[in-house]
């Protein structure tokens, strides 16, 4: 399926890639019901939908509620399949549906879409919390601009709504423009007070919900309720990653190999899940501001000759391992698996590179992106090291 807001184009393909049918349907009640009746011609079916975390989510949820089996096709995979299948990148809904069908038929280990009410509630609340933070930042910037025009030199950088209100109380402009500026600034201060109250309630609710999941992410230095919730909703099933290197590749903390000839070097990855990368960046910044092992690790990397940004990348890479191991340990504890492992956290791993602590270790290499992966749709659950 190539989903859109008001329409969905489907193609029916067998396991040997024979095309049996396809059509375009509306996504309203009548169109959805017609699509279901059309698909009932093939009782043994699986829906492969592009972008189930984005534009395809609304229809994937409806299919799941009706007992259908759905797998998520990443848009990057379908785009590559479209180029290989057509020889060029031209897009139509029919060619998009065909490329999605090809990926769904050929690729093993596509992520099944499941219904998890707890994670859905977390996703809604953490998205709302993020929008509140963005709104707070935007209105604070507008307030700073007005205060700079009202007060010579403006206000200090970290300005609270109460401090801004006290500053405005001392300003008595006489001209019409100045009075208007003060009135708009007062409205922004009132908005900031309301946003702050909403953020406080959102943090409280998120903290309670995250604790109810039983995760240990809140025990890590630098991860708050918002970061823990974002990790839970974006990662989902941590066992879908074969190892910590694949997890680092997915979140963009694994360096990219840019070697050529005798020159061996790596560069920063701009790919991966940027929301999780942001959580790890915030975690690293918090550790660097405090006397933690993360700060000591950062200083050691700089002493080895790395630039500050390179040292920060190393810290984020180690923190990615820590988050992976923590979430894997939580999964082990939840399932009650009793298998034992070596100190590295993986079965048969006897290296001293465990990420079970809340700060990075010093003797782990900064590995680049993993090589071609074998088909491991699920990581074997291992006992916490």
Residues in the chain: 385
User: Domain boundary residue among 83, 112, 141?
Assistant: 112
Q: Tell me the per-residue pLDDT of 277-299, one tens digit each, with 9 for 90 and over.
A: 999 999 999 999 999 999 999 99
pLDDT band at 34 (very low <50, low <70, confident <90, very high): very high
- Give one DSSP letter per residue of 242-270, joined into a string: SSHHHHHHHHT-SPEE--BTTB--EE---
Tell me: do 51 and 158 sit in the same domain.
Answer: no
Q: What is the pLDDT of residue 360?
A: 56
Contact 352, 363 (CB under 8 A): yes
Among residues 326, 214, 224, 331, the alpha carbon closest in space to that of 279 is found at: 224
The CATH number for 95's domain is 3.30.420.10
377 and 252 part of one domain: yes
Q: Are 366 and 268 in contact (CB under 8 A)?
A: no
User: Is the pLDDT at 363 greater than 70, yes or no?
Assistant: no
* Residue 64 confidence class, pLDDT cut points 50, 70, 90: very high
Q: HEC string of 136-188?
A: HHHHHHHHHHHHHHHCCCCCCCCCCHHHHHHHHHCCCCCCHHHHHHHHHHHHH
State the total domains in the chain: 3
Residue reference for tokens 């009075």: 179
CB contact at 8 A, 122 and 209: yes
For the segment 61-69, the average pLDDT, to the nearest whole number, is: 92
- For residue 242, give the nearest of 372, 107, 358 by alpha carbon: 372
Burial class for 133, CB neighbours closer than 10 Å (0-12, 13-18, 19+): middle
Same domain, residue pair 164 and 303: no
Nearest Cα to Cα of residue 230 among 332, 330, 323, 369: 323
For the segment 160-182, the average pLDDT, to the nearest whole number, is 91
Quick: pLDDT tens for 222-246.
999 999 999 998 888 888 888 999 9
- Which of the 8 DSSP states describes residue 373? P
Token pair in block for residue 240:
């879908």
The model carries a pTM of: 0.73
Residue 274 belongs to what H/E stretch?
Answer: helix 274-288
326 — pLDDT class (breaks 50, 70, 90): very high
Task: Indicate the pLDDT class of residue 140, thresholds 50, 70 and 90.
Answer: very high
pLDDT at 384: 42
- Average pLDDT over the chain, rounded to an integer: 84
Q: pLDDT at residue 368 above 90?
A: no
Looking at the structure, tell me whether residues 105 and 238 fall in a common domain: no
Distance CA 130, CA 97 (A): 33
Instruction: Note the pLDDT of residue 86.
Output: 65
E strands, the chain, where?
Answer: 2-3, 7-13, 19-26, 47-50, 70-73, 111-112, 256-257, 266-267
Between 76 and 349, residue with greater pLDDT: 76
State pLDDT tens for residues 79-108: 888 888 766 667 888 989 999 999 999 888
Residues 6+ apart with CB under 8 A from 45: 39, 68, 69
Reading the block at residue 126, the tokens are: 């953490």
Name the domain boundary from 112, 145, 166: 112
* Maximum Cα–Cα distance across the chain: 80
pLDDT at 75 over 90: no
pLDDT for 4 equals: 94
Residue 163: pLDDT over 50: yes
Residue at which a domain ends, from 177, 212, 247:
212
108 and 160 assigned to the same domain: no
> What range defines the domain where residue 105 resides?
2-112
Clarify whether residues 219 and 355 are in a common domain: yes
Angle subtended at Cα 229 by Cα 226 and Cα 234, rounded to the nearest 5 degrees: 120
Judge if 84 and 195 occupy the same domain.
no
**pLDDT value of position 50:** 93
**pLDDT recorded at residue 300:** 92
Asked if residue 385 has pLDDT above 60, the reply is no
Same domain, 37 and 156: no
The 10 Å Cβ neighbour count of residue 104 is: 23
Residues 200 and 234 in one domain: no
Gap between the terminal Cα atoms of the chain: 42
Q: What's the pLDDT at 341?
A: 43
Tell me: do 230 and 150 sit in the same domain: no
Tokens standing for residue 285: 């910044």
Percent of residues, the chain, with pLDDT higher than 90: 53
Q: Are residues 308 and 356 located together in one domain of the fold? A: yes
pLDDT at 35: 95
> Angle at CA 288, nearest 5°, toward 229 and 225?
15
225 and 145 housed in the same domain: no
Predicted local confidence at residue 239, as pLDDT = 87
What pLDDT was estimated at residue 337? Answer: 43
pLDDT at residue 8 greater than cutoff 70: yes
Confidence of residue 47 (pLDDT cuts 50, 70, 90): very high
d(CA 291, CA 299): 11
């Amino acid at each position: 399926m190539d989903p859109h807001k008001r329409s969905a184009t489907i193609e029916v393909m067998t396991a040997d890639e024979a095309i049996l049918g396809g059509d375009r349907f509306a996504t309203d009640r009548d169109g959805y019901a017609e699509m279901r009746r059309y698909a009932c011609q093939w009782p043994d079916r699986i829906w492969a939908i592009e972008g189930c975390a984005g534009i395809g989510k609304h229809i994937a949820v409806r299919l799941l509620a009706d007992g259908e089996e759905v797998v998520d096709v990443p848009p990057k995979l379908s785009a590559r399949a479209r180029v290989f299948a057509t020889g060029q990148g031209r897009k139509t809904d029919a060619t998009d549906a065909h490329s999605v069908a090809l990926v769904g038929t050929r690729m093993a280990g596509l992520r099944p879409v499941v219904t998890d009410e707890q994670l859905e509630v977390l996703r809604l609340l953490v998205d709302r919390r993020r929008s509140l933070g963005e709104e707070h930042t935007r209105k604070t910037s507008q307030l700073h601009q007005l205060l700079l025009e009202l007060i010579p030199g403006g206000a200090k950088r970290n300005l609270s709504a109460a401090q801004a209100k006290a500053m405005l109380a001392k300003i008595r402009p006489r001209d019409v423009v100045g009075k208007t500026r003060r009135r708009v600034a007062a409205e922004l201060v009132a908005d900031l007070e309301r946003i702050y109250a909403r953020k406080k309630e959102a943090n409280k609710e998120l903290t309670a919900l995250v604790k109810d999941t039983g995760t240990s992410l809140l025990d890590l230095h630098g991860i708050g309720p918002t970061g823990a919730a974002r990790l839970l909703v974006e990662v989902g099933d941590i066992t879908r990653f074969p190892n910590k290197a694949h997890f680092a590749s997915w979140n963009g903390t694994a360096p990219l190999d840019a070697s050529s000839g005798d020159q061996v070097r790596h560069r920063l990855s701009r790919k991966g899940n940027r929301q999780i990368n942001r959580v790890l960046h915030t975690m690293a910044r918090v550790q660097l501001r405090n006397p933690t092992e993360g700060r000591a690790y950062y200083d050691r990397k700089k002493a080895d000759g790395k630039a500050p940004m390179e040292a920060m990348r190393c810290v984020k890479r180690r923190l990615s391992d820590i988050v992976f191991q923590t979430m894997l340990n939580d999964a082990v504890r939840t399932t009650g698996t009793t298998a034992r492992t070596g100190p590295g956290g993986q079965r048969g791993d006897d290296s001293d590179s465990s990420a079970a602590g809340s700060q990075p270790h010093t003797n782990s290499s900064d590995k680049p992106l993993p090589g071609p992966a074998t088909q491991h749709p699920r990581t074997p659950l291992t006992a916490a090291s």
